[in-house]
Chains A and B, each alone.
Chain A
Amino acid sequence: MTAAAGSGQRPARPRQSLIVPAGLLAFLVITWLSLSDQFGIGFDLGAIIEDITNGGRILITESDSAAQRGLLVPNWAFLPRTVDPMLETFKMAVVASVVGCTVALPVAFTVSRVTAPNGVVLFLGRTVLSVVRAIPDLLYALMFVAAVGIGPLAGIVALVFFNIGVVAKLLSETVDGVDPGPIEAARAGGGNRTQTVRWAVLPQVLPNYVAYSLYTFELNIRASTVIGIVGAGGIGNLLFTQYRFFNWSNVSIVVVTLFVFVLLIELISIWLRRRLV
């Protein structure tokens, strides 16, 4: 059935790229290795389903003693004890956000292609920043607790580093994309580097900077709930103490407090962002 008279042949099919099958194969191999008992974490779906059905009982155990009740039987009498640590968490997040975002501002201008003083500083700055970003919040907290002892200071410093990583990265990328016109104008007008950044770049990125700072504050609220686990102050500490004694009904109260608090902060932050940005 050769239908078309003129051209005769069907056009050749476009060659299938090998990238998609190769990617799929890589995905399957990595997933299989990761799941396997021998090479990976030993992920067994059957066992997990069994655990969930058994574990379900742990969650709903009723008892007269608060210490033996399950997670879904919260001990409401514990609620007042969460107030002070939660407040401490909030204060830590506030202080860390202010310090972190302030430090991140000059750092961002140092690691942006547009405003870096020279190539060497740019390269070094980027390298240091990617190391700063590669360390998770809880690891910072572990190290600072070891360095300065248990308490909120270690937590605040840990959050500050975490914030510098986030804000400097986001802001430097925004600076990379600014309109070069004002920069040229400032240079032509005889401005030095600081003046150029101050009058030609900063006004362009200020709204983004404010938005990133608010976003970081939200991140901090959630991060600061965790870093207490290693002794860096705040509600994480309370959570972990109750967890270590398997006081599930108290754990659930801490979790509920956390949840309400995080949602509340987020609502406020959204409202602020709408008004500011």
Chain B
Amino acid sequence: MAGAAERPHPPTHAKRNLALLGAALLVGWAAVTVDVDPSEILDLPGGVALLFREMFLDPGPDWSYLPTALEGMIESLQLAWVGTVLGAILSIPLGFVGAKNVSSGGVSNVVRQLLNAIRAFPEVVLAVAIMIPIAGLGPVAGALAIGLHSIGTLGKLTAEVIEGIDPGPVEAARAAGGGSILVQRWGVLPQVLPEIVAFWLYRFEINIRAAAVLGVVGAGGIGFSLQQTISFHRYSLAGTAVIVVVLVTIAVDTVSGWVRRRIIEGAGAKRVDADAIAHPELAEVVTGPVERP
């Protein structure tokens, strides 16, 4: 056995294979034990095709329902807007306090955990469990639910943006004798505002989707029409409502996306990854860390 006699062993993949096996077992267990009949799966394409035909082709959408659907969708847009504004206003102070370089480490941790906890609940759950009992059925409860959920997501994003600022202007403001509020106003806010406003718009786009279905639980908007027409098998009417939801959502996405790009590029925020602004969740997924939207 002189020195170089043996070839090096190929690296072992045992650990990786074990993990893959574990994942496969988990998926297999879930697929087998979930309460779905194989016969149901065979019926699926036919059922979907039938529904699609009734909603969009024959008899197809009933355009006399258009005014009702539009009215519901406008209410959805409005409650999404109000919810986003509420969330945006309240998330600013929380974002500042939640940023480690603005407040102390202990305080920021507590605030971040609070924001995490808020975000764990989907809007519909917040509406059902908190806002409808308090504000009663209707769009106000929906707006409050969206607002509360948005505080969680926007607060977290705001805090993260603030933690990434250039410390120079802050030092300059301090050196010029600015008090703590003045330092935030002139040293921090101008650096982060474009990104934060872009996040608000992005959140508005997401909130429209939530607002379109909050009506299912009675929290206002077109969701009520969707739920009523579908559960009473009025598929022509449902088809109209679905078309309205899709077209309005795409239209608002397009306008809002254009404004977001304008804000970011107009501000010349080069250090920001454009993709991350287009999809804040991308930043979060790719860099790996901590949380959900």
Contacts and interface: CB of A to CB of B under 8 A. Distances in A.
Interface string B21-61: 00000110111011111001101100110110001000000
B213 A42 contact: no
Given A153-B40, A153-B44, A230-B216, A255 B129 contact: yes
A240 B48 contact: no
Interface in A15-46: 19, 23, 30-31, 33-35, 40-44
Given A43-B143, A255-B125, A157 B44 contact: yes
Nearest to B29: A91
A34 B78 contact: yes
Contacts of B245: 134-136, 139
B128 A147 contact: no
Interface in B216-275: 216-217, 220, 223, 226-227, 230-231, 233, 235, 238, 242, 245-246, 249-250, 253, 259, 266, 275
A243 B289 CA distance: 35
Interface stretch (B5-13, B103-111, B133-141, B170-178): B133-141
Interface in A34-63: 34-35, 40-44, 48, 51-52, 55, 58-59
Interface string A225-263: 110011001000001100100001001100100110011
A30 B34 contact: no
Contact of A147 (B34, B51, B78): B51
B129 A251 contact: yes
Bin the interface of chain B by size: 35 or more
Contacts of A243: 128-129, 217
Q: Could you say which of A88, A91, A177 has the most chain B C-beta atoms within 10 Å of its C-beta?
A: A91
A138 B285 contact: no
Given A58-B133, A218-B292, A259 B117 contact: yes
Interface of B: 26-27, 29-31, 33-37, 40-41, 43-44, 47-48, 50-51, 55, 75, 77-79, 81-82, 85, 116-117, 120-122, 124-125, 128-130, 133-136, 138-140, 143-144, 209-210, 212-213, 216-217, 220, 223, 226-227, 230-231, 233, 235, 238, 242, 245-246, 249-250, 253, 259, 266, 275, 278-279, 281-282, 284-286, 288-292
